Structure 1
Amino acid sequence: MGKYKYTAEFEIRASNKMLFPYMTNPAGLAQWFADKVNIDENKVFNFIWDNKPHYARLTAQRLNRYVKFEFLPDGDLNSNDPAYIEFKLDMNELTQSSFLKITDYSETDNEDDLKELWTHLVSNLRETVGG
């Protein structure tokens, strides 16, 4: 099964500096993105959804601007095309709002499901940060 790239952008009334920890540290991510998030000594993130672990590495980061997590393949599979999630933050200086651009590259190819999922997750984030 091939992968599908879904991209969405959301306005959040909070600064990039305030939002960034919610995209990079386990406690912040667990408040809106996953049921639970752990990180091990090898800096592998374990995102838990519905009691199922999903392991990922933080492969790119730019302070207060950008984060990319690449998911590790299950079992012995060696994937040259890993699933990933990117969070990009842009600030509108005029409105003082941040825009969160999400790219979800995964095997989920139902755009309506992805739109509903990310709208719900970002709603959780807005509620958490008050934006």
Structure 2
Amino acid sequence: MPLSATRTKHRFMVEYSVNASPKILYPYLASPSGLAQWFCQEVRLEENQRYNFIWDNQSHFAELNSHRTNRSVRFVFLDQEKRSMPDANYLDFTIEESQLTQEVFLRVLDYSDETDDIELQEMWDGLVQQLRELVGG
């Protein structure tokens, strides 16, 4: 059977309890300075509200596709010419608070070419641990 030329994307979702209020947590998910403290080497906000995420000294451009203050943020990644792509990779961060227990959860939805769930789990575990240390929880 011939291999398909198109790669299918993988939807990876994980949820973490975080001992911080949504108001404290949200700036670490939505602002360049907050993201740079735990998520990647550096984040620059460029013209047209485009974010430049820098990992291993390489730029990865994304648009802030949607956000709800203190609730959620979604970054949709662009091509190297900073243009939208069909079926683009995206990252979605959602903050949920249990009305019953007052516990705060961070849900991460990573939609990308990476298909190794174990590797993704380890990567996000490490990143969110850094985030927890920053917010005190």
TM-score computed with the length of structure 1 as normaliser: 0.94
Which residue, out of 107, 113, 127, partners 2:113? Answer: 107
Q: CA deviation at 1:78?
A: 5.9
Secondary structure, counterpart of 2:124 in structure 1: helix
Which residue, out of 83, 97, 104, partners 2:103? Answer: 97
Say how many residue pairs are matched.
131
Which residue, out of 56, 60, 85, partners 1:79? Answer: 85
Q: Which residue of 2 aligns with 1:70?
A: 76
Determine what percentage of the aligned residue pairs are the same residue: 43
* 1:48 correspondence with 2:80: no
The letter for the 1-side match of 2:22 is: N
Change (3 A) 1:53 1:93: same
Unaligned runs of 5+ in 1: none
Which residue, out of 18, 25, 32, partners 1:19? Answer: 25
* 1:126 correspondence with 2:121: no
Secondary structure, counterpart of 1:121 in structure 2: helix
Give distance in 1, aligned partners of 2:100 and 2:119: 33
Secondary structure, counterpart of 1:115 in structure 2: helix
Q: Which residue of 2 aligns with 1:30?
A: 36
Aligned CA-pair RMSD: 1.5
Change (3 A) 1:18 1:76: closer
Q: Which residue of 1 aligns with 2:4?
A: none
Give distance in 1, aligned partners of 2:98 and 2:64: 26
Secondary structure, counterpart of 2:47 in structure 1: coil
